[in-house]
Amino acid sequence: MPLLSVSNLTTRFYTREGVTNAVENVNFSIDEGELLGIVGESGSGKSVACYSLLGLVPCPPGKIESGEALFDGKDLLKIGERALRDIRGNSISMIFQDPMTSLNPYMRIGDQLTEAYRQHKKSSKTEALSRAIASLEEVGIRDAEKRINAYPHEFSGGMRQRVMIAMALISEPRLLIADEPTTALDVTVQAQILELLKNLQEKRKLSIIFISHDLAVVSNIANRVLVMKQGEVVEQGEVAQIFNAPTHEYTKKLISAIPASGKPAEHKFASSSDKLLSVENLYTRFNLQSGSFFNRKNEKLTAVNNVSLDIYKGEILGLVGESGSGKSTLGRSIIRLIEADSGSVRLGDQNIRSLSPSDLRKARLQFQMIFQDPFASLNPRMTVFDALAEPLITHKLIDEKNLIQTINELLDDVGLERKYVRKYPHEFSGGQRQRIAIARALALRPKLIIADEPVSALDVTIQAQILELMLSLSKKHNLTMLFISHDLAVVRYICDRVMVMQSGCIVEQGETETLFNSPQEAYTQSLLAAIPQIPSATG
């Protein structure tokens, strides 16, 4: 008998725009000790289906219309809020996607762990604290007895995710729901978290529902897979069957969208001796304060440590490394979004670091940045037209009578329909917003674009579209790009050369295929070894 059996689950959202069928007649089950993967694009209903089981769908606008969810003989959809509260966080726990927004920034880690445990187990403070320390040790946090008094911001992304896992497991649940728990993590940290979950599952005979849009990750951890599209289950089965012999066209489309090869031949970079960007001996340091209020200590963190690099006209140079390696700081230091301490940055014949503020403003015509989160980088009060028109008007590049035509051509370039020009950012999907951000970066026809994790938060199909778009635009406009990412499969697909960064230093660099096939440094080898591979790719 399954631990959880879901039948005919239907959840709808009633909004001013109409009714959305978020989950439509969904059926699935999970046995004790099994790991079930649920995959699909954003909006496919993966998270809503699981949130519905725990009463976490906001009502209004959400409403569970019908269905049955039997857990341990009880129907989760009908037992009422009080009984559900006893199960939620006790027998069934959840790990959310972003630990920084899920953890309370004002509470110490220990207090957040013991709060849930004492709520469900009615234990003493001492017992709860002892259990919290044991939970942190179990998920691989060293010096747990000392770290338990830290605040969330004092942990790295991977450490915070471990804290979330410890919090979910502290009450020893029978079922764990993990909602995109590794999306924003580096490949090495992701591999550690996946191994941790797998070990805990085997050790505790734990049942896990693992929600993700990353099919390679799911293929490495799940026993069975459920594929969802627009609220419906379109296919489900054993991992080997789903990934080696999918039957539904949508599943085939998802699998084919995973980057699994090098840069397409038609987009290969023709060797050039014409340098566009030259960086020499760049250092960027940050001031850090530690100690108590009365014994404050100032320390220096070297984020970029004596980095030198060249990028040639028309080339896409990849920059990879774990979080905290200095990738983004280097990219921002190059275009002076962060001021470096020393070193030189030359774009063509201009020394960027020596420019006055007014000259720097003029020079920004030549370089632009695409940020990781387009929703944060686009002004929510500006329409697409306003967002694209602003840089053109600010730099006086175009007269008013040609403005609309120029903006329409930008939309054509990035594959957005012209009718969307008066819409606001919140009216678009993540992939569409990233297209708008790319159009804005292209508006000034820059010589250099720095793309900082531009596809890390996107579904595989949307990611594939954006990568193809960036390659075609690079070819059309002869763009030169520094492409920063922790996703090595993406870097292999789009970049001509790759530089590997660790602790602020460049530790290895080379032609993309050469570096991927014959990495020399142990750090590069560990990064490449951590890339998840789907079964069909590994045989």
Per residue in 286-321, is it b (16+ CB within 10 Å) or e — as a string? eeeeeeeeeeeeeeeeebbbebebebbbbbbbbbbb
- State the Cα angle at 259 between 258 and 264, rounded to 5°: 140
The predicted model scores a pTM of 0.76
How many whole angstroms separate alpha carbon 166 and alpha carbon 95?
9
User: Tokens representing 353?
Assistant: 């670091």
How many whole angstroms separate alpha carbon 371 and alpha carbon 384?
17
Nearest to 438 by CA among 384, 492, 396: 384
Residues paired with 62 in a beta bridge: 13
How many whole angstroms separate alpha carbon 240 and alpha carbon 238?
6
DSSP 3-state percent helix, strand, coil across the chain (nearest 5)? 40, 25, 30
CA atoms 426, 429, 435, 438: torsion sign: positive
Could you tell me which residues come within 8 angstroms of residue 235 by beta carbon, excluding any fewer than 6 positions away? 226, 227, 242, 246, 247, 248, 250, 251
Q: Which amino acid is at 505?
A: C
**Kind and range of the H or E element at 195?**
helix 187-204
User: Tokens representing 44?
Assistant: 């496919």
Could you tell me which residues come within 8 angstroms of residue 270 by beta carbon, excluding any fewer than 6 positions away? 314
Nearest to 494 by CA among 459, 453, 440: 453
Q: Each residue's pLDDT tens digit in the chain (539 positions)?
A: 889 999 999 999 887 767 888 899 999 999 999 999 999 887 788 888 999 998 888 887 888 999 999 998 899 999 888 888 888 888 898 888 766 667 888 888 889 888 878 877 777 888 888 888 988 888 878 788 888 888 888 776 667 878 888 888 888 889 999 888 876 667 777 788 788 888 888 888 889 999 988 888 888 889 999 999 989 999 999 998 998 899 999 999 888 888 777 888 888 777 777 899 999 999 998 876 555 455 666 677 788 999 999 999 989 999 998 877 888 889 999 999 999 999 999 998 899 999 999 899 888 889 989 887 777 788 889 999 999 998 888 888 787 788 889 999 888 888 888 888 888 888 776 677 888 888 888 888 889 999 988 887 677 787 888 888 888 888 888 889 999 988 888 899 999 999 999 989 999 999 999 999 999 999 999 888 888 777 654 44
